[in-house]
Amino acid sequence: MGREIQKRKNRSSISKVRQKPKSKKRIQTNPIIAQSWNKNETLAQNYKRLGLTVKLNKSTGGTEKKVSDILNDVEEDVDPLNITTASKRKKEQIDVSEAKIERDPETGKIIRVVDEKLAKPNPLNDPLNDLESDDEEEEWNGIPNSQHLESQIGEVGAQTETVKALEAAARRPAAKHKRRQPEGEVRFLRELVEKYGEDYGKMARDTKINYMQRSEGDLKKRIKKLRDSSGLGG
């Protein structure tokens, strides 16, 4: 009977409920970050508290808001009944100024507006001088320095202890790893030196001991390395 029920389950169109496996992503691989990690906080919350950033680019989704930010938005004195029309907003933005105009002597229509502030010098009386664009292209002054960028982004807070420890670890030079010669290589090199001394040509032609058929230069380099490591006397 149990087998028939199992067959009906397999034929059913209802998808089976499967538990989502736990993520195998290892985040706390760095021991400095692992010391200050809080399991009750999310990845973004931990990184923000430690003074790190989760993404180099701007986050596309929403960001977490603090309670203080929400309270500040509520406390703003905004009159919900004060309706500002578009015409009023435009009037507030318009700057009133004076300018000279030229009229047609026959019809009296305004031909053009002459603004003395923006008038270009025309010593040669070029008739096309007024037709040229008055907008000057901005000059590229190069990449701004870090202080200028910080002033645009905002005041940068003090570095946390985690960031200082990470920077100190990054500045620390990495220890050089010396490759040790395998025991089998050391054994056959000693046999070649005991049999032929410094004759690397005979060593290379000995197919019994030098079964890997290494060249004279390769054998010379390996024997020199073995002598430098005090693994070979003489």
Express each pLDDT in 87-143 by its tens digit: 555 555 666 677 788 888 888 888 887 765 555 667 777 777 766 554 544 555 555
Instruction: Give a yes or no: residue 92 inside a domain.
Output: no
Residue range of the domain that includes 221: 183-230
Q: Which helix (H) or strand (E) holds 164?
A: helix 161-171
β-bridge mates for residue 112, sequence order? 102
Other beta carbons within 10 angstroms of residue 231's beta carbon come to 14
Please compute the mean of the pLDDT values over residues 36-50 and round it to a whole number: 87
Cβ contacts of 83 within 8 Å, gap of 6 or more: none
Mean pLDDT of all residues belonging to the chain: 75
Other beta carbons within 10 angstroms of residue 48's beta carbon come to 14
Length of the chain: 234
Instruction: Give a yes or no: residue 90 inside a domain.
Output: no
Cβ contacts of 44 within 8 Å, gap of 6 or more: 54, 64
Give the per-residue pLDDT at 153: 39
Q: What is the pTM for the complete model shown?
A: 0.37
Instruction: Give a yes or no: residue 194 inside a domain.
Output: yes
Q: How many domains does the chain have?
A: 1
Instruction: Give a yes or no: residue 225 inside a domain.
Output: yes
Instruction: Give a yes or no: residue 137 inside a domain.
Output: no
Instruction: Give a yes or no: residue 33 inside a domain.
Output: no
